[in-house]
Amino acid sequence: MASENHVENPFEFVLEKLGWAASDVAHVVLPRRDRHAGQVAPAVRKIGAADLWDALRKGMADVGATRDDVLFIGLIYPLAGLVLARLAFSLDLLPLVFPLASGFAIVGPFAAVGLYELSRRREQGAQVTWLDGFGVFKSPALGSILGLGAILLGLFLVWLGVAYEIYLATLGSTPPQTIAAFERSVFQTGGGWTMIAAGVGVGFLFAVFAFAISVVSFPLLLDRDVGLMTAVRTSLRAVSANLGVMTLWGAIVAGALVLGSIPALVGLIFVVPVLGHASWHLYRKAVGEA
């Protein structure tokens, strides 16, 4: 029987926080879910690879026009890199460093909502600064935006729990004694390579699901207060209707995040704003009027 001073392992911690996230979603989203009853779902368009390059071009133009938007989000990731570096010196948390770093992509669309708002205002011809990104808090769809953000956060926490269980199943529950010993166990043992293969495979599934439900959901909610479920369904329809192009976009995002992460996530100061602004323009191309 657990004692009063029982210390939670990371998986128990994840389950507890996931319960909190689910409760937050219920309080934020459910009370007014009838507000969008009978609303017609937005139309989804077919897009091509040329639309991706045009979205990226417009995203870079937005970054050039609102250079101080790096203050809004671009510095978050390098700071996160410092946190991860600090975690690396805590041997008990060392197995979670890579899941934490890779899992940022799951909550990235929510973190980029301010960038979508900047692109939306610039599209309307307004002069914008990074402070305009906080205009998200005036959106009538704020509840749905926070609800979807809580869902992505819950997904991120589940990924951490699953990654920790994969580590336990492949390398055991004994904490690494040193960083060098941990590296040897990961890269020079059969269990380590099994952990890498399983972690990459399962992590890919988490990333695909997060991408599918959020790639156009957040910009759509900022643009039109359609409700969380309509936004998610529209995102899924957009991905399904443009599977090849969206797969290419996902690969571009993943590749850019990896390159921007070297070294210590510093390159993400530029990469994240470009991808955030480009995502808004991709939404404009993929989703039509109701």
Q: Residue 252 CB: number of other CB atoms within 10 A? A: 16
Whether the CB-CB separation of 231 and 32 falls below 8 Å is answered with no
Residue 34 within a domain: no
CA dihedral 254→255→257→260, nearest 10 degrees, is 180
Residue 103 within a domain: yes
Residue 28 within a domain: no
Residue 189 CA to residue 136 CA, distance in Å, equals 48
Residue 188 within a domain: yes
Residue 50 within a domain: yes
Residue 249 CA to residue 40 CA, distance in Å, equals 27
Residue 22 vs residue 78, higher pLDDT: 78
Residue 6: predicted pLDDT? 46
Residue 106 within a domain: yes
What does the longest C-alpha to C-alpha distance in the chain come to? 64
Task: Summarize pLDDT for 113-161 with one digit per residue, the tens.
Answer: 888 998 998 888 887 777 777 888 888 889 899 999 999 989 988 998 9
Residue 35 within a domain: no
Residue 91: predicted pLDDT? 62
Tokens of 31: 């009370």
Residue 195 pLDDT greater than 70, yes or no: yes
Residue 78 pLDDT greater than 80, yes or no: no
Residue 284: predicted pLDDT? 95
Weakest mean pLDDT among 70-74, 192-196, 199-203, 264-268: 70-74
Whether the CB-CB separation of 16 and 145 falls below 8 Å is answered with no
Residue 247 pLDDT greater than 90, yes or no: yes
DSSP tag of 46 = -
Q: How many domains does the chain have?
A: 1
Residue 129 within a domain: yes
Weakest mean pLDDT among 12-21, 89-98, 168-177, 226-235: 12-21
pLDDT, averaged across the chain: 80
DSSP tag of 138 = G
Q: Is 181 helix (H, G, I), strand (E, B) or coil?
A: helix
Tokens of 60: 């870079």
Look up the domain containing 253 and give its range: 10-23+44-286
Tokens of 110: 């929510």
Residue 69 vs residue 146, higher pLDDT: 146
Of the chain, the percentage scoring pLDDT greater than 70 comes to 76
Residue 280 pLDDT greater than 90, yes or no: yes
- pLDDT band, very low/low/confident/very high, at 239 (cuts 50, 70, 90): very high
Residue 23 pLDDT greater than 80, yes or no: no
**pTM tops 0.85, yes or no:** no
Residue 222 CA to residue 120 CA, distance in Å, equals 8
Number of H helices, E strands in the chain: 12, 0
Residue 217: predicted pLDDT? 95
